[in-house]
Chain A
């Protein structure tokens, strides 16, 4: 009886796990969600990178004190999003992670979030620790280096993750919408259905 009750105690939560992602052991080997990275967003909320599992994600990296290319990255991600139908848009997360944990505090990210009028339902600006920045950039194949004058030299790419966190497409086109990349987003949405 006691065993049965215990079994029920364990089983009960399982009945309501619709929203809980499966354990990491079930992750495909190619998933970047194997990286144990925790993030803090523009509102100060903490989450794990792997919490993004379940929805395709548009991912890139930037830093807020970058005057020229980084605003263009945000603009390009916005326009890529706008190339989707409203229904499709709701099903893609947009994640922009800072290279610069020292200066890009959640408060600073929040300011940029407001300035750029980012869509609350889909966009996250995130700060992660310096060591995690190196790993995330490595796994996304984005190059960056800190210069002595505190600027950050970096390559720019938009990366598409499928709902399991596998990289399924990328584009280096910044400042314009890449139609092939949009088609990849739509294809990822079809297979995520």
Chain B
């Protein structure tokens, strides 16, 4: 009997380990973000971090709301997620047939995405971390200056049907991360930090007063439309918003060994 319990526990542990999301280490470094680090268009410094190789799925999010029922769509405080939160699911605790367990979860708010990551001992990536990882193609850490790469990504953004109704499993990039482009939009932790000047001619803009310090920063690399569209989309969101094509993945700090 005791042996059976021990075996059961070992099996459960094994299965939990098999289920656990995969994270890969990303080295970080100096990076020419589309959002400069200051008004002098400086590069940003990105510390090494770990990133989930795949977006969070419906099945994983269902496990999360089952374990943490305050995030169920019928129990969540409205301040944390608007009406459409997980609307495509059949019920608060069942996916139904309009979406698959293996599809990326969408219709989640920033608060809910954040809470999920905490439950996985992780956090949402920052914009710069996401952008850094997403600059890679299959063989290069930074493929952004390659017109063919830009073209391929833009092809997806031009498709009108991006809806989160697709299987995860795009090809792995340089770091082993999948589906940063081509599947869904993704929350970042500092989505409300992406404030930028609408255009560079606004030195005497009456809205100047809305911004403290250096004023709104100007975007760099304006030809990188795919990334700029992400910035525009994320900066238009409120934290309780959800959309049918907006999901997320999580990140972790790398412990520095002394």
B78 at interface, CB cutoff 8 A: yes
Chain B residues with Cβ below 8 Å from A151 are 38, 212-214
Q: How far is the CA of A97 from the CA of B217 in the complex (A)?
A: 24
Q: Out of B78, B209, B238, which one reaches A175, CB within 8 Å?
A: B209
Q: Are A148 and B42 in contact (CB under 8 A)?
A: yes
**B104-138, CB < 8 A from A:** 110-111
Q: Is the interface of A mostly helix, strand, loop or mixed?
A: loop
A69 at the interface (CB under 8 A from B): yes
B243 contacts A by Cβ under 8 Å: no
Which secondary structure characterizes the binding site on chain B?
loop
What is the chain B residue whose CB lies nearest that of A167? B79
B110 touches A138 (CB 8 A): yes
| Chain B residue total in the interface (Cβ 8 A) | 33
How many residue-residue contacts, CB under 8 A, span A and B? 102
Instruction: Tally chain A residues at the interface, Cβ within 8 Å.
Output: 38
Report how far A172 CA is from B77 CA in the complex, Å.
26
Taking the nearest CB of chain A, how far is it from the CB of B236, in angstroms? 11
**Quick check: is A31 within 8 A (CB to CB) of the other chain?**
yes
Residues of B within 8 A of A62 (CB): 212
B residues near A172, Cβ cutoff 8 Å: 210
Q: Is the CB of A156 within 8 A of B209?
A: yes
Per the bound structure, the CA–CA distance linking A147 and B128 in Å amounts to: 13
Instruction: Give the distance in Å from the alpha carbon of A124 to the alpha carbon of B191 in the complex.
Output: 28
Which listed residue, B193, B195, B212, touches A66 by the CB 8 Å rule? Answer: B212
Whether the Cβ atoms of B79 and A148 lie closer than 8 Å is no
With both chains docked as a complex, state the minimum distance between the C-beta of A165 and any C-beta of chain B, in angstroms: 8
Residues of A within 8 A of B190 (CB): 134, 145
**Cα–Cα, bound, A156→B209 (Å):** 8
Given contacts A143-B193, A144-B193, A153-B195, contact A68 B212 (CB under 8 A): yes
Bound Cα distance from A34 to B239, whole angstroms? 14
A153 touches B214 (CB 8 A): yes
Across-interface contacts of A30 in B (CB, < 8 A): 77-79
Q: Does A143 lie within 8 Å of B192, measured CB to CB?
A: yes
Is B79 a contact of A153 with CB atoms below 8 Å? Answer: no
Contact between A70 and B209 (Cβ–Cβ < 8 Å)? no
- The 10 residue pairs across chains A and B that have the minimum distance between CB atoms: A29-B78, A151-B213, A138-B239, A145-B193, A148-B37, A69-B212, A143-B195, A34-B77, A147-B38, A148-B38
B interface residues with partner A (beta carbon < 8 Å):
35, 37-39, 42, 44, 76-80, 110-111, 189-195, 209-217, 235, 238-240
A residues with CB within 8 A of B: 27-32, 34-35, 62-63, 66, 68-70, 72, 134-135, 137-139, 141-149, 151-156, 172, 174-175
